[in-house]
């Protein structure tokens, strides 16, 4: 299975390592041509303003919107969540905007407020998942089609809608690859039809 | 702010985590909100808030200190990207002040005049993460042992001359290769010769790289300089004087960001390097007296 990692900027190699360990072929995606033959995409953590601007310049925002409309699976972590969110509280970066959520940027505060916490994520198993939140966004609103998958203090921190998956935290920063396994399964069962 | 009483803050994983998010990006020195906004709009992943860029510090002479907190606060309010600020080597009170301002990263920097010629800051005492300069593997690992969560080359700041940054990055990479190739029973002697803790030398051998993110800094002035450092294996780029001492900062900032992204594509680097005005004036390193070389500060 071929799952790309958006490689504009951010913790690209950590996602690549997890997906490779799960048996995927993992091309790095910097421009539209890099998406050839790719069945799903991970948008890593990084700085959403920088990533969004450069995705726009590369034509990747339009391309991803078109693909997502045909069922293309995308998993966004942290900055990736912001870039997938339809609405933004705080300065809005150029973004894909395909998921019916509102993201509140840096809602937990600056770096001093960044933290680790153990989360229950029933969809990936019973053992708590050690989640790292770095200047993380909050999911301030979920549309009716959005399914929450994990909560922290009663607020959703991981959610999905159709082929789209988001988390406010960084599963790629730990050795635990269960969230990536969940996304790989999502790609496997997706009904994405490439444009002919 | 403290809405997650169960969450663990200030852990090494949280500190290195932010550096991981900056990888592949460009961090720019800025001295006011207008420059900070130019940097953010150009796609910088963070800014370094300063009172003067290194070229001006060099020109001014005298003692260079932490920036005025007012400037740092204004910049923090102006942009949504992370804001870093510099403390003098060993000046842990400047670092305490920067932490209380809630900057996102403290740079314990040789660009400022050292406050202590023997001891660097004990960075484990802080929740805010630190980046430190290094010219070789031993120096990098000593800083990590003191709690640094990110390393950058020292280069020679404020010169617009990339030669020292190249030397430092190549030196660290060559020393890492030597550690990786060495058998286990030689690591103790290697650690002694590097002046670095054995435990960290072991981690370098296992990972084949530094245990934290490794950026370059000190003399990067052009898009091609940035791409050169990325091709040599840097995780990302600090540009100090290179942007705002050039003729057209806005165009140069965008060009450096794009060249850092497409560092393997000379056609893109050619395209972005045209029509961006003059680069900052450069300084030949051999014309600097040893006392003027900022890289000699720290150990």
For residue A127, the domain's CATH number is: 3.40.50.880
Look at residue B6 in the predicted model and tell me its pLDDT. 59
Q: What is each CA distance from B252 to A7, A76, B39, B75, B267, in whole angstroms? A: 22, 30, 10, 20, 17
- Work out the widest C-alpha separation in chain A, in whole angstroms: 48
Whether the ipTM is more than 0.90: the answer is yes
For residues B299 and B59, the answer to whether their CB atoms sit within 8 Å is: no
Q: Name the active-site residue from B15, B86, B205, B245.
A: B86
Mean pLDDT for B131-151 is: 98
Mean pLDDT for A95-99 is: 98
B3 pLDDT more than 60: no
| Top-confidence residue, A108 or A73 | A73
Check residue A68 and give left, alpha or beta (phi > 0: left; psi -120 to 50: alpha). alpha
Is A89 within a domain? yes
Chain A residues touching residue B21 (CB < 8 angstroms): 10-11, 45-47, 78-79, 134-135
How many percent of chain B have pLDDT more than 70? 98
Angle at B228 between CA B225 and CA B233, to 5 degrees: 130
Mutation site, A5, A8, A9, A130, interface B, largest B CB count within 10 A: A9
Based on the structure, what is the number of domains in chain A?
1
Place of tokens 């999905």: A160
How many percent of chain A have pLDDT more than 70? 99
Is A87 within a domain? yes
**Mean pLDDT across chain A, nearest whole number?**
96
| Top-confidence residue, B206 or B62 | B206
B5 pLDDT more than 70: no
Cα separation, B210 vs B175, whole angstroms: 11
Is A196 within a domain? no
Look at residue B255 in the predicted model and tell me its pLDDT. 98
Cα separation, A118 vs A92, whole angstroms: 30
Is A151 within a domain? yes
Look at residue A191 in the predicted model and tell me its pLDDT. 83
What are the b/e assignments for B141-172, b being 16+ CB within 10 Å? bbbbebbbbbbbbbbbbbbbbbbbbbbbbebb
Mean pLDDT for B147-175 is: 97
pLDDT (tens digit per residue) in B239-277: 989 999 999 999 999 999 999 999 999 999 999 999 999
DSSP-derived letter for residue B70 is H
Mean pLDDT for B26-38 is: 97
Chain B residues touching residue A59 (CB < 8 angstroms): none
Closest residue in B to A50 (Cα–Cα): B43
Q: How confident is the model at residue A196 (pLDDT cuts 50, 70, 90)?
A: low
Mean pLDDT for B10-34 is: 97
Is A179 within a domain? yes
Range of the domain at A41: 3-189
Is A194 within a domain? no
Chain A residues touching residue B105 (CB < 8 angstroms): 111
Is A168 within a domain? yes
A9: nearest CB among B4, B25, B99: B25
Look at residue B26 in the predicted model and tell me its pLDDT. 98
Is A195 within a domain? no
Partners of A8 in beta bridges: none
């Amino acid at each position: 299975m071929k799952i790309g990692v958006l490689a504009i900027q951010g913790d690209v190699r950590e996602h690549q390592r997890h997906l490779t360990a799960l048996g995927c072929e993992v091309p790095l995606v910097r421009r539209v041509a890099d998406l050839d033959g790719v069945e799903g995409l991970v948008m890593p953590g990084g700085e959403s303003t920088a990533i969004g601007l450069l995705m726009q310049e590369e034509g990747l925002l339009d391309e991803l919107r078109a693909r997502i409309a045909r069922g293309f699976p995308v998993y966004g972590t942290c900055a990736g969540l912001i870039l997938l969110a339809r609405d933004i509280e705080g300065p809005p970066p150029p973004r894909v905007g395909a998921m019916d959520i509102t993201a509140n940027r840096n809602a937990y505060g600056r770096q001093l407020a960044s933290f680790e916490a153990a989360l229950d994520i029933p969809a990936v198993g019973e053992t708590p998942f050690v989640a790292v939140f770095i200047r993380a966004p909050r999911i301030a609103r979920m549309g009716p089609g959005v399914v929450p998958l994990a909560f922290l203090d009663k607020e959703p921190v991981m959610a999905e809608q159709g082929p789209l998956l988001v988390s406010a935290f960084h599963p790629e920063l730990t050795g635990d690859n269960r969230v990536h396994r969940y996304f790989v399964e999502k790609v496997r069962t997706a009904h994405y039809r490439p444009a002919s | 702010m403290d809405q997650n009483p169960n969450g663990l803050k200030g852990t090494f994983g949280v500190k290195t985590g932010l550096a991981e998010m900056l990888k592949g990006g460009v961090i720019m020195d800025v001295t006011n909100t207008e420059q900070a906004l130019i940097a953010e709009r150009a796609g910088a992943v963070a800014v370094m808030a300063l009172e003067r860029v290194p070229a001006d510090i060099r020109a001014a002479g005298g003692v260079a200190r932490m920036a005025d907190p007012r400037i740092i606060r204004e910049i923090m309010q102006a942009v949504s990207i992370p804001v870093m600020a510099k403390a003098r080597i060993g000046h842990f009170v400047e670092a305490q002040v920067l932490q209380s301002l809630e900057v996102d990263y403290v740079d314990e920097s040789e660009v400022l005049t050292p406050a202590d010629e023997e001891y660097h800051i004990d960075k484990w005492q802080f929740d805010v993460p630190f980046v430190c300069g290094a010219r070789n593997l031993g120096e990098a690992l000593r800083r990590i042992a003191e709690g640094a969560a990110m390393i950058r080359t020292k280069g020679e700041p404020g010169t617009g001359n990339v030669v020292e940054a190249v030397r430092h990055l190549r030196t660290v990479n060559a020393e890492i290769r030597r550690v990786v190739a060495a058998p286990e029973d030689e690591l103790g002697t290697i650690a002694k010769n590097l002046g670095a803790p054995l435990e960290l030398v072991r981690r370098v051998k296992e990972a084949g790289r530094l245990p934290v993110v490794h950026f370059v800094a000190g003399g990067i002035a052009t898009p091609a300089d940035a791409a050169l450092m990325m091709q040599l294996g840097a995780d990302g780029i600090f540009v100090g004087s290179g942007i705002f001492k050039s003729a057209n900062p806005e165009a140069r900032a965008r060009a450096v960001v794009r060249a850092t992204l497409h560092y393997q594509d000379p056609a893109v680097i050619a395209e972005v390097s045209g029509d961006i005005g003059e680069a900052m004036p450069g300084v030949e390193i051999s014309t600097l007296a040893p006392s003027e070389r900022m890289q000699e500060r720290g150990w």
